[in-house]
Amino acid sequence: MIPSIVGSGLTIAVLFLMGMKQGNSAISFQTQEQLPVHKAIYTVKENGEFVPLDFTGVSREVMNSVVHIRSVRTIQSTGNSYQGQSIPFGDMFGDDFFRFFRETPPQGQQRGQSDPRVQMGAGSGVIISDNGYIVTNNHVIERADEIEVTLHNNETYKAKVIGTDPSTDIALLQIREDDLQGLSFGNSDLAEVGEWVMAIGNPFNLNSTVTAGIISAKGRNINIIDDQSAIEAFIQTDAAINPGNSGGALVNLNGELIGINTAIASPTGAYAGYGFAIPANIVNKVVEDLMKYGMVQRAYLGIMIRDINSELMKEEKLKRSEGSYVDSLVAKSAAAEAGILSGDVITGLNDAPIQKSSDLLEQVGRHRPGDEVTITVDRHGKEMTFEVTLADQKGERKLASKEDMDILDVLGASFEELDKETAERLGIEGGVIVKDLGNGLLKNQTSISEGFIITGINHKQVKNQNDIRKMLNQEKGGVLIQGVYENYPGELYFAFGLPE
C-alpha cells in the first residue's frame, strides 16, 4: 500500500517540474464543484419509480445511527507454552475477534493463578430506537466483561446486554441515552438481487466508513454459525465489508435497514468481494422477542431437511429441482402431526416460495411456537397443503416464559452424574459431567467444554442434577462454578451471571 502512494506522489511532482522547465505556464488544476451528471443517474424499480443513484444523502442520515463497539474480556493466564500467542479466528470467514491459541480444554481460573490478560474486540452496531437500543452481532460481544459504545459524534457509553441469540448471531444492547437517531427496518423480502445497497460500519477501527455495492444473492447458507439451531439465510453483497464491520448496517437507497453485516468469505481474512448480512426481517423478529419476552421464541417444524441436487433427484426419483426435501421427521413433531411425510418436498410456507432449505429455515425462524402456518408440499408430483401449528424444541405449542424454563435449559447443557469409581480415582466426593453443550449460559458466558465435571456451585458441593437445579434457583446475579476435567490437572473455576 505505501509504495503505491509514494509512487503516485512522485509522478505528480515530476509532471509539475516538467511544466516549469518548459517555460510554459504551470499545470492548472480546475475544481469541478458540480459534475454534469450529478443526480442525473437513476435506477428504476419494478413499479416504475425512479430512484436517484446518489449515496450522499443516505450516508449523512445513516452514519448517525451506526456505532462503534469495543468489548473487553479478561482471561486468566495458565502458564502453558501457548499463552500469549494469538491467531485470527476462522480461516474462511473474517471475524472481528482474535482468539488466543490455547490447549484444549479451555481454562478457567486456577488457584494460584495470576497475571490476567485482556482480550479486546471491536465491531459495529445499529441504533434502532431513540432510547438507546442497539443491534449488533452476538460474536462481537460474546463473553465480554465490559462493552463500550461510541456514537458517530464520539460520545462514549457503557452498554448493557439485553439479550442474545447465538442461533442467528444477533445481540441486543442498550445505552442510557435518549433522543438518539434510530434506523428504521426495511422489508428485506422486497430487496432484490442487483439492487444497490450501502454498508456502514467501522472496518479496522476506521470509524463511520461507508461502502456501496449491489445485492449479489439472497438466502445464502454458509455454515458459519456454530449452533445446533442455526438459522442462516444471508443477503450476499459485494459492498466492501471487513473485520470491524460486523454488526453494522446494510441499507438500501431509501436509508432503510435491510440487513446486519456479519461475515465475509475470504482466503486472507480481508475483503475479497463477498460479504454477508442477516436479513432485517429475521433481525426484527429476534429483537422483538428479546424486548417483549426476554428470550427468543423459536419455532420448529420438527424435520430434517436437505437441499435438492441432481444426485438426490436421481436417488429419490424426484421431479422437482427446487424446494426443501424432507429427509426425516421427529416423532410427534408439528410437521408429523400435520401429516407431512418423509420424502415430501416443501415448496411453500404461507405465501413465500421455498426454493432451498435456507428459505424454509428463514420463514420458520420468523414465527413463534403456537403460530399456524400453511405448508405446501410436492408428494410424488402431487401438490398438497397442510395446516401446521408450530412448536418449540420440546414440542410445546405455546409461548415460553422465563418462569416456566428449567434452569438446566438456561445453562444450555445436559448433565450426567459421575460414577463412584471415577470420583474415587480423581480424589473427589462426586460431581456432575457436562454433556451436549449447546446454546446457553455455559457456552455463551464461559469457556467450559463438554466433559467438565462440576463439583461445586458457590462453594457448595454438587453431586447430582437436582443439586444444580436447587442451588441455581436460589441464586441471583453472579455464580461461581468449580470443578475438574478428568485428564487435566488442577481445580478450575468459571463465573457467569444468571438472567434477571
Residue 52: its pLDDT value, please? 62
- All three cell numbers of 76: 486468566
3-state helix, strand, coil in the chain (%, to 5): 20, 35, 45
Write down the pLDDT at residue 106. 39
* Structure-model confidence comparison of residues 459 and 402, the more confident one: 459
Q: Is the pLDDT of residue 375 over 90?
A: yes
CATH of the domain at 368: 2.30.42.10
Q: Is residue 124 part of a domain?
A: yes
68 vs 469, residue with greater confidence: 68
Question: Which domain range does residue 325 map to?
Answer: 303-389
| Banded model confidence at residue 142, pLDDT cuts 50, 70, 90 | confident
Is residue 213 located within the same domain as residue 96?
A: yes
Structural domain contains residue 12: no
Query: What is the structure's pLDDT at 94?
Result: 35
The answer, yes or no, to whether residue 56 has pLDDT greater than 50, is yes
How far is Cα 166 from Cα 208, in angstroms, rounded to an integer? 26
Claim to verify: residue 167 and residue 235 sit in the same structural domain:
yes
Residues 194 and 220 in one domain: yes
The residue-averaged pLDDT of 87-111 equals: 33
State the DSSP string of 77-104. Answer: ----TTTT-EEES-SSB--S-EEEP--S
Looking at the fold, whether 279 and 311 belong to one and the same domain comes out as no
- Our answer to whether residue 246 is catalytic in this structure is yes
Residue 28: active-site member? no
Catalytic residue among 246, 266, 324, 333: 246
Mean pLDDT, residues 284-288 taken together: 96
Q: Are residues 180 and 231 in the same domain?
A: yes
**Residue 92 and residue 224 share a domain:** yes
Ranking 45-59, 281-295, 385-399 by mean pLDDT, the lowest is: 45-59
The arithmetic mean of pLDDT across residues 305-329, rounded, is 94
Residues in the chain: 500
Which CATH number do you get for residue 271? 2.40.10.120
Q: What percent of the chain has pLDDT over 90?
A: 54
Dihedrals phi, psi of 361, to nearest 5 degrees:
-60, -40
Q: What is the pLDDT of residues 355-372, one digit of tens each?
A: 999 999 999 999 999 999
Which of 272, 296, 320 terminates a domain? The answer is 296
Residue 444 scores a pLDDT above 90: no
Are 238 and 375 contained in the same domain? no
Catalytic residue, chosen from 139, 165, 216, 392, is: 139
Q: What angle do CA 400, 284, 386 make, to 5 degrees?
A: 60
Whether residue 67 sits in one domain with residue 176:
yes
Top-confidence range, 10-14, 65-69, 436-440? 65-69
**Is pLDDT larger for residue 488 or for residue 315?**
315
DSSP H helix total and E strand total for the chain: 11, 30
> Do both 103 and 154 map to the same domain?
yes
Amino acid at 190: L
19: in domain: no
pLDDT in the model for residue 20: 34
Out of 246, 279, 296, a domain closes at: 296
Its pTM stands at 0.74
Tell me the C-alpha distance between 382 and 391, whole Å: 27
Q: Could you tell me if 111 and 255 lie in one domain?
A: yes
Of residues 182 and 11, the one with the higher pLDDT is: 182
Examine the domain organization and report whether 93 and 125 are in the same domain: yes
Poorest-pLDDT segment among 76-90, 145-159, 343-357, 368-382: 76-90
Q: Is the pLDDT of residue 79 over 60?
A: no
What pLDDT does 452 receive? Answer: 94
Q: What is the pLDDT of residue 25?
A: 42
- Catalytic residue (choose from 96, 165, 169, 392): 169
- pLDDT computed for residue 154 by the predictor: 94
Angle between helices 280-293 and 357-365 (to 10 degrees): 30
Are 373 and 450 found together in one domain? no
Predicted confidence (pLDDT) per residue in 212-268, tens digit: 999 999 999 988 887 778 899 999 999 999 999 999 999 999 999 999 999 988 887
Dist. CA 349–CA 458, nearest whole Å: 48
Residue type (1 letter), 289: D
Whether 324 sits among the annotated catalytic residues: the reply is: no
Cell (9 digits) for 333: 413433531
Per-residue pLDDT, 49? 75
Number of domains in the chain: 3
